[in-house]
C-alpha cells in the first residue's frame, strides 16, 4: 500500500485548513491546480523567520543578516537538488512561473531573437506562456507558431516537427496542461528541438508538484515553476536555466543586488544567479519553499505521483457515471487535473452550487482561452488533486454533483 494511503489522516492533520467547515459542511478542497494548501511546517517556518531571523540578505555583516543569507542560499541549493540541476548558479528566484516566463521572453528577446525569428508554443499553454511572446512579437517582430492538439488532448508531434524552419530559435511548452491534465512528452520534444538547433523552455508549474523531475535527464534548457502550487508560499518561484545560456543573457530588471559596480558612465553586472535577481529577494519565501520541498521529499515524489494517479483514475471512473458528463482531456498520460462540463448546467452555476455544498472547484477559462476555443466552449469546471485528497472526498464531490443536477 502507498505510504500516503496508510498515513492519510496523519498527513491531512498537517494542513489545518482541511478541518474547516464551509456553510456548515466539511471542506472538500479540489482546486489544487490553482494553489495548494500549506502544511503547518511551512507556515511555522515563515513565522519563525520573521519573528527571530528577519534581516535583509547579502552584504550584511551582522548576525541576523548572515543567518538569513545562509537560509536563503541553502534554499537555492535545496531547489537545485530537488530538480537535479548541475549548479546553484542555475537557480534564479522569481515571484513565480509568470515572472519566470516574462524574464525569459524579455532576456531571450534581447539576446537571441530578432525580427522574423520563430518561437513555437502549443494550443494548451497558460496565458503566461502566450502573452509574453505576443508582447515580444509586437516589440521585435518575431513569429509565433502553435502546436495543435487532438480531441483527446494530446499534442500532435508530427505537426510539431513540421513547424520547424531555419528561422525557428525556441520552443516554449507546458509539461502538464492546467486544463487538460495532459503530460506532454517533453523529453522527446527537447530532443527534437535540439536536433533542429533550437532551445526549449518547459513550464513545470503543473508538473513539479506532482512527479519526480530531473532537468538533466529531461535536457530542457529552462524550467519554470511556482512555490504556491507545491505547498509553499505565494510570491516565490523558480527559473532554472543552463549556466552556459544564462551567462550570455542580459538582465531582466536593474537595481540593487544584480550589480557589481555602478557609475554614471557604466554599470557591470553581478555573477549568476544574482544578475537576474534585482532588488530585495523574498528570502523568507525561499526558505519556506525549501521547507515545502523537504516535506515533499520526506513523502517521496514517486509516492505522490502514484497516489495522485490512483485518485485521478478513481475520479474519472466515478465522473463518467454522471449523466450529461463531458470530460475534456482524456490522454493516456494525464496528471491529476480533470476539466468537465455537465449538459444543461453552466459551469459558473455548477461551481457556485458546489461551493454551497462545501466542495471547492475552479470554473471559467482557467487562463487558457485558446484551449476553450479549441474545444468549442466558453469555459469549463475543473477539479484538481493533491496529496492530501481522498477517495472519500471524490465520493462527496460526486454526490454533490448529483444533488446539483436535481436542481435543474
The residue annotated as part of the active site, out of 41, 198, 220, 367, is 367
Backbone angles phi, psi at 128, to 5 degrees: -70, -15
Mean pLDDT of 232-247: 98
H helix or E strand, kind and range, residue 267: strand 267-269
Q: Are 348 and 342 in contact (CB under 8 A)?
A: no
Peptide bond into 262 cis (omega under 30): no
Q: How many CB atoms lie within 10 A of CB 121?
A: 22
| Alpha helix positions (H), 24-126 | 40-52, 63-83, 97-111
All domains in the chain, ordered by first residue: 3-30+300-405 (3.90.1150.10), 44-297 (3.40.640.10)
For 4-43, the pLDDT digits (tens) are 999 999 999 999 999 999 999 999 999 999 999 999 999 9
The average confidence (pLDDT) of the chain is 97
Banded pLDDT at 403 (limits 50, 70, 90): very high
What is the reported pTM? 0.98
Told to judge if 220 belongs to the known catalytic residues of this protein, a careful annotator would answer no
Q: What pLDDT band is residue 167 in, cutting at 50, 70 and 90?
A: very high
Inform me whether the pLDDT recorded for 70 exceeds 90: yes
Determine contact, residues 356/401, Cβ cutoff 8 Å.
no
Residue 95 corresponds to which cell in the numbers above?
515571484
Q: pLDDT band at 59, cuts 50/70/90?
A: confident
Nearest CA-CA partner of 117 in 173, 162, 159, 171: 171
Residue 85 and residue 64: Cα distance in Å, rounded? 29
> For residue range 184-223, what is the model confidence (pLDDT) as tens digits?
999 999 999 999 999 999 999 999 999 999 999 999 999 9
Q: Which three cell numbers stand for residue 325?
A: 458528463
Share of the chain above pLDDT 90, in %: 99
Contact 379, 365 (CB under 8 A): yes
Helix axes 131-140, 97-111, angle to 10 degrees: 20
**DSSP secondary-structure letter at 242?**
-
Amino acid at each position: 500500500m502507498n505510504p500516503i494511503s496508510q498515513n492519510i489522516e496523519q498527513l491531512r492533520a498537517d494542513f489545518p485548513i482541511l478541518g474547516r467547515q464551509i456553510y456548515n459542511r466539511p471542506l472538500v478542497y479540489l482546486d489544487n491546480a490553482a494553489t495548494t494548501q500549506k502544511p503547518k511546517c511551512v507556515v511555522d517556518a515563515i513565522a519563525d523567520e520573521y519573528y527571530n531571523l528577519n534581516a535583509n540578505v547579502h552584504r550584511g555583516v551582522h548576525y541576523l543578516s548572515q543567518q538569513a543569507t545562509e537560509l536563503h542560499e541553502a534554499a537555492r541549493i535545496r531547489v537545485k537538488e530537488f530538480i537535479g540541476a548541475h549548479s546553484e548558479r542555475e537557480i534564479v528566484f522569481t515571484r513565480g512561473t509568470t515572472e519566470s516566463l516574462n524574464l525569459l521572453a524579455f532576456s531571450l528577446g534581447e539576446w537571441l531573437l530578432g525580427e522574423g525569428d520563430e518561437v513555437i508554443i502549443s494550443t494548451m499553454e497558460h496565458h503566461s506562456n502566450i502573452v509574453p511572446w505576443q508582447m515580444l512579437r509586437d516589440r521585435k517582430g518575431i513569429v509565433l507558431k502553435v502546436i495543435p492538439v487532438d480531441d483527446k488532448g494530446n499534442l500532435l508531434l508530427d505537426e510539431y516537427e513540421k513547424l520547424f524552419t531555419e528561422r525557428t530559435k525556441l520552443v516554449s511548452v507546458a509539461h502538464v496542461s492546467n486544463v487538460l491534465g495532459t503530460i506532454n512528452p517533453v523529453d522527446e520534444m527537447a530532443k527534437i528541438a535540439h536536433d533542429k538547433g533550437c532551445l526549449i523552455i518547459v513550464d513545470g508549474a503543473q508538473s513539479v508538484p506532482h512527479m519526480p523531475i530531473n532537468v538533466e535527464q529531461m535536457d530542457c534548457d529552462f524550467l519554470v515553476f511556482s512555490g504556491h502550487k507545491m505547498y509553499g508560499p505565494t510570491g516565490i518561484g523558480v527559473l532554472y536555466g543552463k549556466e552556459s545560456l544564462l551567462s550570455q543573457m542580459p538582465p531582466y530588471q536593474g537595481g540593487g543586488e544584480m550589480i557589481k559596480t555602478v557609475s554614471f558612465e557604466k554599470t557591470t553586472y553581478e555573477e549568476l544567479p544574482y544578475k537576474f535577481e534585482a532588488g530585495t529577494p523574498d528570502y523568507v519565501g525561499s526558505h519556506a519553499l525549501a521547507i515545502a520541498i523537504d516535506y515533499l521529499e520526506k513523502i517521496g515524489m514517486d509516492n505522490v505521483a502514484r497516489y495522485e494517479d490512483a485518485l485521478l483514475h478513481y475520479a474519472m471512473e466515478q465522473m463518467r457515471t454522471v449523466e450529461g458528463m463531458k470530460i475534456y482531456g482524456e490522454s493516456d498520460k494525464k496528471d491529476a487535473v480533470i476539466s468537465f462540463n455537465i449538459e444543461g448546467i453552466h459551469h459558473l452555476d455548477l461551481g457556485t452550487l458546489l461551493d454551497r455544498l462545501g466542495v471547492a472547484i475552479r470554473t471559467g477559462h482557467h487562463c487558457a482561452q485558446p484551449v476553450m476555443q479549441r474545444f468549442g466552449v466558453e469555459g469549463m469546471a475543473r477539479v484538481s488533486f493533491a496529496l492530501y485528497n481522498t477517495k472519500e472526498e471524490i465520493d462527496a464531490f460526486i454526490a454533490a454533483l448529483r444533488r446539483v443536477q436535481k436542481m435543474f
